[in-house]
Structure 1
Amino acid sequence: MHQADRMTSSEQRAAGSLAAVFAFRMLGLFMVLPVLATYGGNLAGATPFLIGVAIGAYGLTQAFLQIPFGMLSDRIGRKPVIVGGLILFALGGLLAAQADTMQGVILGRIVQGAGAIAAAVMAMVADLTREQHRTKAMAMIGMSIGVSFAVAMVAGPLIAARAGLEGVFYTTVVLALVGIALVIWVVPPVSHAERHRDAGVIAASFWPSLRNPELLRLNYGIATLHAILMASFVAIPLALQEQAGLPREEHWWVYFCALLISFFAMVPFIILAERKRQVKGVVVGAIALLALVQPMLWLSVNSLPWLVSAIVLFFVGFNLLEATLPSLLSKIAPAGGKGTAMGIYSTSQFIGAAVGGVLGGAVFGAYGLGGVFACCGVLALSWLLIGVKMRQPAHVSSYRLPLPQELVRDEALLRRILAVPGVTEAVVVAEEAAAYIKVDTLVLDREELDRAVASDR
C-alpha cells in the first residue's frame, strides 16, 4: 500500500468528469422535487396521488435496473452502458416536458429512472484510478451528489418561475446531453474493465449481504429516509404556497437558506461521528430530529417564519444522515463485499423513493398536509426503534491490496495479513490476485503489512 503523492492527470480527469456526469444526472432528477406539487396541479388528470407517483416514479425503474446495468457494463463496456442510460434519461425528460397530462409526466419520470447508470459509473471510476486514490475519487462523486441536490433545490423553482414545469424537464435533457458529451470526449477510455468487489456487485456476496442484520437495518434506514423525502415534497411546497402564503416563484430562497444553514450545522456532528468515533450516537440523534420535526412542520404551516425554521431542521437531519450513512455502510460491510452491499443499499434507497412518493400522494389526498407529516413521523419513529439497536461500528477503512502472483495460493498469506496490527478483517481473492482488508488506520502497521505480502519474504 505505497502511497503516491497525488493523482495523475488522467485520474483527475476521470474522477472529475465522472463526478460531473453523476451530478448532472442527479441534478436533473432532483430539480423536479420542489416544483412538481405546485406546478403539476395545472396538468390534466392531476390529483394529489398522481403527483406523488410522479415525484417518486423514477425510483421504481432505477431500483430494478441499477444492478443489472452494472453487470451489463462488465460485459459490453462501461461507456456504452453509461451513454445508453443518459440517452434514456434525456428521452424521459423530453416525454415529461412535452406531456400535457400528469400520466405523461409519470411516464417520462419512469423512463428517466430507467437510465440507471450509478453502478456503471462507480465501476468505471474503479477501472480508471489506482488503489490508493480510489477512495478519493469515490468521495468526489459523493460530494457531487450532495452539491447537485443543493443546486437542484434552488434551481428548480427559479427555472420553473421563468419557463414552467416543462422548462425544468427540458433543462434535464440538456444536462443529459452534456453528460453524454463528457463520457464520449472527456472521460478516458477503459483499457480493461474488471469486476471490483468494492465498486460492483458480486453474486457470491449477495446473499451474505442480505442476511447481515446490521446491513438490513441500514437498508431499511436509507429506504425510510428517501420515502420521507419524497413524501415531504408532496406536502412542503404546498404548505409554503397555500398555507404560509409564499408564492411558488419565491420558494427557492427557503431551500437555499435551509440547505446553507444545514450544511454548516451538520459539520460538527460529522466531525463527532468520524474523529470522535460516535457514529451511532450521531445517526440515532439525526433520526430522532427527523421524527421530531414532523409535528413541527404540521403545527407551523400557517406561519412562514416557523415553517421555514422547521424546514431548516428537516434538512439538517436529512443531510446529516445522507452524509453519514454511506460511511457507516463502508464500516459495516464485510471485506470484499462493499460493492455488493452498496448496490443493495442504493436499490433500497430508490425503492424507498418510489414508495414515499406514492404514499405521500395517497395520504395527502385522503388526509391533507397534516396526514403527510404524521405519516412521515411514523416512518421516522419506526426507523428510530430499529436504529437504537444498531451496534457501535468498528472505526475501520476498506482497502484492496494487490498481491504478487506467486503468493495468491500461499495458504499462510491470509494468516500473515490478519496478524498485522490494525487489520481487523481480510479475504484473499486468488482470481483477482488481491486481498480485501479492513483496517483501523490509527493502529495499522503499514511496514509490517508490506512485509506480510512481499514476494521475497
Structure 2
Amino acid sequence: MLKDFTPEEIKSVLGITFAVAVRMLGLFLLLPVLSPYLKTLEGSSPQLIGLAIGIYGLAQAFLQIPFGYLSDKYGRKPIIIFGMLTYILGSLMGGLATNIWSMIVARFIQGFGAVSSAMIALAADLTREEVRTRAFAHIGASIGMVFALSITLAPVLAGYMGVPFLFFLTAFLSTLAVFYLAFFIPEPKVHAQEREIKPSLKNFTLLITDKNQIMLNFSIGVLHAFLVAIFTVIPYELVYNYHFPKPKHWEIYLPAVFLSLMVMVPSTIAAEKKGKFKEVFLLGILSIFLGFLAYYFMRNFLGSVLLVFFFFIGFHLLEPIVPSLLTKLTHRDLRGLSLGFFNTNQFFGAFLGGLWGGFVLKHGIHYFLLLAFAMCALWYLLAYTWFNTLQSEGKLGKSGL
C-alpha cells in the first residue's frame, strides 16, 4: 500500500500509524474486559462503571477542537507528544487504580490527550496529495487490525495477566511511539511566517459555516454512530436471541474485518488514482444499507452476520477517504482545527450511537432498523448532491468525480 511513497513519507506514515494504533489498542483492548473488572473495584456502582467507561470518549470529544487549534498555532509534534504523555500517565494510573474514583480520573486523563486531529493533520502535512488517501487507508487498516486482534486477545491476556497489565502494556507501547515521533518524524516545514491564514478564533466561524466541513462532519458522525450502535445491539442479539457464546464472537468479527480490509485497498487506490471518490463514498453507504436490509428480511443469526460483514465493508470504504477529502478541501493552515471539529463529531456520533443502541435494547429492534434505513437514505441523498456540487465547482478536478 506504500508503493509510490517517498522514503520520508514511509517513515512518517509508519510512525504516525504506530502512534494511532497504540492509542486505539488502549481503547479496544479494554472494551471487552473493562466493565467486569470495574465491578471489582472499591466503591463501584453501575452508574460509576458507565462513567468510568464513557468519560474517555467524553474528554476526547470536548478536547479535539482545542488540541487541533493548538497544533495549528504551535506545531503538530509538541501538541501530539504532550497528548501522548498525558495518555501514558492516565494508563499508568489506570493500572494502579484500586477504587472506582481513581479509575474515573485515570480514564479522564487518558482521554485528555485528544491528539487524533493533530495526528491526522501531521500525516496530511507530511504526505503529498496524490498519496494521501492511501496514507489514511494505511492508518485505517491498522485500526481495523487492532480491533480484530483486540477482541481476540483481550480476554486471553486479561485472564492470564490481569486487566492492569493491559493498562501498563499500552503505556509502554505509547512510550515507544513518543520516542519515535520525537526523534524520527520531522515537523512539517510550514512555519508561522509562511502562513496564509493566521491562527485566530475567527477561524472557528469560518469552519462551522463551511458546507464541506459540515458534510464530512455529518458523515463521520453517522458512520461512528452506526459502529457503536451495531456493536451494542448485535452482540446482545447473538448471545441472548441466537445463543452464540460471546467467547466465539471473534469468529464473526475477525473474518469480517479481514475481508473489509481486502476490499479497502483497491477501492482506496481507485478513489485516489482514478478519481473515484464519489463512487467509493456512495458504495460505502450502500454497503451499510444492504447490511441493515439483510438483517431486516432475515431476522436470524445469518442476518446478523451479514449485517456485520456489510457494515465493515462500508466502514472501511469510507474511513480512509472521508478524512482525505477533508484535508483536500481544507486550507493547510486550518487542518488542525478542521480535523478537531471532525474528530469531535466522530466521538459525539459514537456517544449518540451508544444511546441509540441502549434505547433499542430496551424498546425493540424495529427502532434500530427503521432509523438506520432513514439515516442511510438521508446520508446517500446528501452525499450525492454534495458531490455533484463539488463537480460543478471543480473542487476535486473533473476526474475526481
Normalised by the shorter chain, which TM-score bucket? 0.7 to 0.9
1:350 aligns with 2:347: yes
Q: 1-side partners of 2:196 and 2:136: how far apart?
A: 15
The answer as to whether partners of 2:72 and 2:336 remain within 8 angstroms in 1 is no
Alpha-carbon spacing, 1:33–1:199, altered in 2? closer, same or farther (3 Å): farther
Residue 354 (structure 1) shift: 2.5
Alpha-carbon spacing, 1:19–1:151, altered in 2? closer, same or farther (3 Å): closer
The answer as to whether partners of 1:66 and 1:116 remain within 8 angstroms in 2 is yes
Write the mapping of 1:130-149 to structure 2, written as runs, cut at 5 A: 133=128, 136=131, 139-140=134-135, 142-149=137-144
State the Cα RMSD in Å.
Answer: 4.3
Q: Could you tell me which residue of structure 1 aligns to residue 308 of structure 2?
A: 311
2:215 is matched with which residue: 204, 214, 217? Answer: 217
Bigger drift between 63-72 and 226-235 goes to 63-72
Higher share in helix: 2
Q: Which has the higher contact order (CA 8 A, sep 6+)?
A: 2
The answer as to whether partners of 1:84 and 1:115 remain within 8 angstroms in 2 is yes
Q: Which amino acid aligns with 2:28?
A: F
Residue 74 (structure 1) shift: 5.6
1:248 is matched with which residue: 246, 249, 252? Answer: 246
Q: 1-side partners of 2:347 and 2:193: how far apart?
A: 23
2:91 is matched with which residue: 77, 90, 93? Answer: 93
Q: How many residue pairs end up in the alignment?
A: 392
Q: Could you tell me which residue of structure 2 aligns to residue 431 of structure 1?
A: none
Alpha-carbon spacing, 1:12–1:294, altered in 2? closer, same or farther (3 Å): closer
- CA offsets, 1:241-278, max 9 Å, x none? 33333333332232210011122334555455455545
Q: 2-side partners of 1:61 and 1:196: how far apart?
A: 33
Alpha-carbon spacing, 1:182–1:113, altered in 2? closer, same or farther (3 Å): same
Write the mapping of 1:236-275 to structure 2, written as runs, cut at 5 A: 236-267=234-265, 269-270=267-268, 273-274=271-272
The answer as to whether partners of 2:288 and 2:314 remain within 8 angstroms in 1 is yes
Q: Could you tell me which residue of structure 2 aligns to residue 233 of structure 1?
A: 231
Q: Which amino acid aligns with 1:223?
A: G
Q: 2-side partners of 1:198 and 1:309: how far apart?
A: 49
Residue 211 (structure 1) shift: 1.7
1:386 aligns with 2:382: yes
SS at match of 1:389: helix
Alpha-carbon spacing, 1:389–1:333, altered in 2? closer, same or farther (3 Å): same
The answer as to whether partners of 2:76 and 2:187 remain within 8 angstroms in 1 is no
Q: Which amino acid aligns with 1:323?
A: P
Alpha-carbon spacing, 1:203–1:196, altered in 2? closer, same or farther (3 Å): farther
Alpha-carbon spacing, 1:439–1:315, altered in 2? closer, same or farther (3 Å): closer
Alpha-carbon spacing, 1:380–1:203, altered in 2? closer, same or farther (3 Å): same
Write the mapping of 1:47-196 to structure 2, written as runs, cut at 5 A: 51=50, 57-73=55-71, 78-97=76-95, 108-122=106-120, 124=122, 129=126, 133=128, 136=131, 139-140=134-135, 142-164=137-159, 166=163, 167-188=165-186, 194=192
Q: Which amino acid aligns with 1:46?
A: P
Alpha-carbon spacing, 1:84–1:6, altered in 2? closer, same or farther (3 Å): closer
- CA offsets, 1:269-316, max 9 Å, x none? 54554555453344234324323423544666652x443222111111
1:24 aligns with 2:22: yes
Alpha-carbon spacing, 1:70–1:314, altered in 2? closer, same or farther (3 Å): closer
Bigger drift between 199-208 and 229-238 goes to 199-208
Q: Could you tell me which residue of structure 1 aligns to residue 205 of structure 2?
A: 207
Alpha-carbon spacing, 1:191–1:383, altered in 2? closer, same or farther (3 Å): closer
TM-score (normalizing by structure 2): 0.76
Q: Could you tell me which residue of structure 2 aligns to residue 446 of structure 1?
A: none
Q: Could you tell me which residue of structure 1 aligns to residue 323 of structure 2?
A: 326
Write the mapping of 1:288-303 to structure 2, written as runs, cut at 5 A: 288-294=286-292, 296-297=294-295, 302-303=300-301
Residue 113 (structure 1) shift: 2.0
Alignment gaps of 5+ in structure 1: 397-423, 426-437, 444-457
Alpha-carbon spacing, 1:36–1:238, altered in 2? closer, same or farther (3 Å): farther
TM-score (normalizing by structure 1): 0.68
SS at match of 1:246: coil
Alignment gaps of 5+ in structure 2: none
Higher Rg: 1
Q: Which amino acid aligns with 1:354?
A: F
Q: 2-side partners of 1:92 and 1:118: how far apart?
A: 16
Q: 2-side partners of 1:28 and 1:317: how far apart?
A: 24
Q: Could you tell me which residue of structure 2 aligns to residue 46 of structure 1?
A: 46
Alpha-carbon spacing, 1:236–1:96, altered in 2? closer, same or farther (3 Å): farther
Q: 1-side partners of 2:19 and 2:213: how far apart?
A: 28
Residue 88 (structure 1) shift: 2.2
